[in-house]
Structure 1
């Protein structure tokens, strides 16, 4: 029997967190329900030009998209709808469906879609058993979702089942094994430094209340259960190919950009909401842009497995 909270906005109890250590899917529900209300702020997610360009840029990097829109798109592990809603605003798809194991995230994604006036429906669903008929979608997308799914190859099989013949999938934001190692190290060091320095009297205004820090640390500890996989790009390609995908291709991005981005995000999570302001957000974004440009040059000589983010695309087979 599930011990997930009936109210998706409720904070998980200590008993629920303890049960989640043995159940990755329950951990995903608890963790993402807990984060749903503040997720967009935590990750500096928006639905304006900045994130529209980011989402479309990832799609182009993976696919070489020529600008022609797809019809009906499905997002797996949609979270608050960041990837699909921004792709729709960029003209990648005309209608959308969002799915997530977390009821709180599905609700947040549908609220965001309604606010943007986008034709999107949604349902709570397991990526390994999608509640859709064969040959339903023209496009399936996901951002930072595959590493949460226990059986990634089964999820690929489900994606190919619900895609129309010739339909495409695109998954972005997946951690590489090498990238995850340095990102987590930098995040731990940043969290320790930020929560230690802000104990000093002159900087206590920059410190979250201790109860918030304790709660954050307790539930954030579930990341070790929620984040099940890291990927070598070649292994990710092999999984999709075994599932039956065609024209499979994985690319990677963010090396120096990730070495800045993870400490920045961790610092933002350690200080009170709104403390850093718009200027900080623009500094972080423009710094990421500049380092991403550098990484594009480095990608010519640095092995793809060393970069933090993996993106993978492929197509469902044509009949006949």
Structure 2
């Protein structure tokens, strides 16, 4: 088994240019670049707030009748947000994390060690998972499928490494319609914030120009790493064609996404020290209330394709 490659958090201009034509290289460079600040950027934590969030996403897709599982794999782990919080919620007793980005695997393992969780990790392509057949009881991922060039191949690999009857759950995948309105809300928020903070009296709310420029470069590369947006029915067809059983796609976040994207964009455009605990609670409680509205009221009348997030689950046939 060859050693994992080293992270490349500071790519050369030539590497960035090459990445524009190579989605997998773009994913490595972008996520190595983001690994050190990713948890802060997306308000990721490993406490009750995110434990409840991760467990809620899994249960929304698949319930919890089979908990606890013994061995769990996270595909495209990032800093470990989904699996580590699910393990804290009692999903599994042992975890493995994989990601194309060496920097993200390092961050996930560092977070797991800090939490005292039994987790191993590998740098890996989701289309060629480096584990034996029938190794895992459950495979999870959050906001990963839309980065993978060949989703069907990745799902076939997921089914291969699952034990018969094992389940997969992937959450946080953007829908076509949701991505359309969310990105536009984000762009409008970025333009308004970076314009208004030039005005006298508001310049203390403006990040240094070098940081804003770096965020803009990251956003440009993000357009390369994001390979797909999904129609829920089409995502079901892809999972069924890969050989999965019991396939189900649900969606969530309609009004919650209309708040969440402007909030996250605003946070990226202003100095962190300007936003205290009060802001964090406003953002979180606002998201909670709108998510309740989406789930309990609007999901009954609004087509599922209009919601921002898709969650897909299925099993390996027994």
- TM-score, structure 1 normalization: 0.96
- Which residue of structure 1 lines up, in the alignment, with residue 307 of structure 2? 307
**Are 2:242 and 1:248 equivalent residues in the alignment?**
no
- Distance in 2, Cα, partners of 1:159 & 1:79: 17
Moved more, 263-272 or 11-20: 11-20
Deviates more, 1:269-278 or 1:85-94: 269-278
Cα distance between partner residues in 2 of 1:51 and 1:164 = 28
Instruction: Report how many aligned residue pairs link the two structures.
Output: 313
> Structure 1 residues 197-206 or 112-121, which shifts more?
197-206
| Superposed CA offset, 1:35-70 (max 9, x none) | 101100110000000000000000110002137201
Q: Is 1:271 matched with 2:270?
A: yes
Displacement of 1:10: 2.9
Mapped to 1, the partners of 2:6 and 2:128 lie a distance apart of 24
| Distance in structure 2 (CA, Å) of the matches to 1:270 and 1:179 | 22
1:213 maps to 2:212? yes
Q: Aligned partners of 1:12, 1:212: CA distance in 2, in Å? A: 17
**Residues 85-129 of structure 1 deviation map (CA, whole Å, 9 limit, x = unaligned):** 000000011110000000000000000000000000001000000
Cα distance in 2 for residues equivalent to 1:288 and 1:60:
18
| Aligned Cα root-mean-square deviation (Å) | 1.1
Asked whether the equivalents of residues 167 and 315 of structure 1 are also in contact (C-alpha less than 8 Å), the reply is: yes
| Preserved CA contact (<8 Å) 1:252 1:309 | yes
Distance (whole Å) between structure 1 residues aligned to residue 199 and residue 183 of structure 2: 25
Cα shift at 1:12: 2.4
In 1: Cα distance, 2:217 partner to 2:47 partner: 33
Aligned to 2:282: 283
2:112 corresponds to = 113
Q: C-alpha deviations, 1:155-186, integer Å up to 9, x for none? A: 00000000000000000000000000000000
Question: 1:9 offset after TM fit, Å?
Answer: 5.6
Q: Is the 8 A contact 1:168 1:316 kept in 2?
A: yes
* Runs of 4+ that moved beyond 6 A: none
1:63 and 1:313 in contact (8 A); partners too: yes
Is the CA contact (8 Å cut-off) linking 1:67 and 1:91 kept in structure 2?
Answer: no
Query: Residues of 2 paired with 1:165 and 1:42: CA distance?
Result: 38
User: C-alpha displacement at 1:205, in angstroms?
Assistant: 1.3
1:7 CA drift (Å) = 5.6
Q: Deviations over 1:188-223 (max 9, x none)?
A: 001111111111121111111111111221122011
Structure 2 CA distance for partners of 1:7 and 1:193, relative to 1, 3 Å = farther
Give the gaps of 5 or more residues in structure 1.
1-5
CA contact (8 A) 2:9 2:103 kept: no
CA distance, structure 1, for counterparts of residue 276 and residue 25 of structure 2: 34
- Please state how far the C-alpha of 1:273 moved relative to its aligned partner: 2.5
Q: How far apart in 2 are the matches of 1:41 and 1:67? A: 32
* Map of 1:132 onto structure 2: 131
In the alignment, which residue of structure 2 is the partner of 1:50? 49
Write out aligned runs for 1:132-281 (5 A).
Answer: 132-281=131-280
Q: Secondary structure at the match of 1:274?
A: helix
CA distance in 1, matches of 2:12, 2:203: 28
Residue segments in structure 2 that go unaligned for 5+ positions in a row: none
Determine helix, strand or coil for the equivalent of 2:193. helix
User: What corresponds to 2:298 in structure 1?
Assistant: 298
Deviation at 1:24, TM superposition (A): 0.2
TM superposition score normalised by structure 2: 0.97
